């Protein structure tokens, strides 16, 4: 049962990873200003706001949270290797983030009748005292995404070919993912927090 749950957790994670690739790429366009970000977002929304795609994404978010917590409870992470601890801690934070973020976006769209575009996120990241929560909240979400991907990548590689001579390569690949994540996080946050232009 735990094996099939793990496989389903990975499968739903892959679906969300495709969305995150689009979503994070969209955020990087904010480096060129809000107009670029909003233009690209309006194009991408034709894909992920199509009702069937959106339902699949919402299901995957819910399943990731529930199945992830189930896997943590079953396996635990005490006395586990460092990369497993990173996987668990980043996954737990992402569970919190996904619950909070998805409900905020859905409330913005359907309850508050707001356009949840660049200014929806950048507004709270530039307004005191809200930014004291939202800047660390957004930053940690991006760090957690890349940390989780890096840990999963390392674990998957070790499962496929655990030979000791290859472990250094796996560590270098994992480190490269983390460094790329740090650069992407930095670029997105300076765009959304008004460092590059006034918001």
pLDDT score at 113: 94
pLDDT tops 50 at residue 39? yes
pLDDT tops 80 at residue 28? yes
Query: Which of 134, 143, 140, 66 lies closest to 99, judged by CA?
Result: 66
pLDDT score at 2: 59
Q: What's the half-sphere exposure (Cβ side, CA atoms, 13 Å) at 146?
A: 20
Q: Residue 145 burial (CB < 10 Å; 0-12/13-18/19+)?
A: buried
Domain ranges, ordered by start, for the chain? 2-192
pLDDT score at 161: 84
Q: Which residues of 79-92 are buried (b: 16+ CB within 10 A; e: fewer)?
A: eeeebbebbbbbbb
pLDDT digits (tens, 9 = 90+) for 50-59: 999 999 999 9
Task: Find the helix or strand (DSSP H, E) in which 47 lies.
Answer: helix 34-48
Angle, to 10 degrees, between the axis of helix 118-125 and the axis of helix 34-48?
A: 130
pLDDT score at 117: 96
Q: How confident is the model at residue 164 (pLDDT cuts 50, 70, 90)?
A: confident
Q: What is the mean pLDDT of residues 194-198?
A: 94
- Residue given tokens 């290859």 in the structure block: 166
Q: What is the mean pLDDT of residues 3-16?
A: 91
Residues 6+ apart with CB under 8 A from 142: 24, 181, 184, 185, 188, 189
pLDDT tops 50 at residue 1? no
> Mean pLDDT in the chain?
94
The C-alpha atoms of residue 118 and residue 136 are separated, in whole angstroms, by: 18
DSSP letter string, 89-156? HHHHHHHHHHHHHHHHHHIIIIIS----SHHHHHHHHSSTTTHHHHHHHHHHHHHHHHHHHHHHHHHH
Q: What is the mean pLDDT of residues 91-117?
A: 95
The answer to whether the beta carbons of residues 43 and 91 sit under 8 Å apart is: no
The C-alpha atoms of residue 93 and residue 162 are separated, in whole angstroms, by: 28
pLDDT score at 13: 94
The C-alpha atoms of residue 188 and residue 27 are separated, in whole angstroms, by: 6
pTM of the full predicted structure?
A: 0.92
Q: How confident is the model at residue 163 (pLDDT cuts 50, 70, 90)?
A: confident
If one compares 161 and 121, the residue with the highest pLDDT of the two is 121
Tokens of 118: 């660049």
pLDDT score at 160: 87
């Amino acid at each position: 049962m735990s094996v099939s749950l793990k496989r389903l957790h990975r499968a739903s994670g892959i679906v969300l990873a495709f969305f995150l690739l689009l979503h994070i790429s969209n955020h990087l366009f904010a480096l060129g200003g809000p107009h670029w970000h909003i233009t690209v977002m309006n194009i991408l929304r034709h894909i992920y706001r199509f009702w069937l795609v959106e339902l699949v994404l919402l299901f995957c978010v819910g399943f990731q949270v529930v199945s992830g917590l189930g896997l943590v409870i079953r396996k635990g992470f005490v006395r586990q290797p460092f990369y497993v601890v990173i996987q668990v801690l980043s996954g737990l934070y992402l569970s919190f983030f996904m619950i909070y973020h998805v409900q905020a976006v859905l409330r913005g769209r359907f309850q508050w009748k707001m356009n949840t575009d660049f200014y929806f996120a950048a507004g709270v990241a530039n307004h005191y005292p809200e930014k004291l929560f939202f800047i660390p909240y957004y930053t940690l979400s991006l760090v957690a995404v890349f940390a989780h991907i890096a840990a999963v990548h390392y674990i998957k590689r070790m499962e496929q070919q655990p030979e000791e001579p290859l472990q250094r390569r796996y560590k270098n690949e994992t480190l490269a993912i983390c460094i790329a994540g740090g650069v992407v996080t930095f670029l997105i946050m300076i765009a959304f927090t008004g460092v590059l232009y006034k918001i």
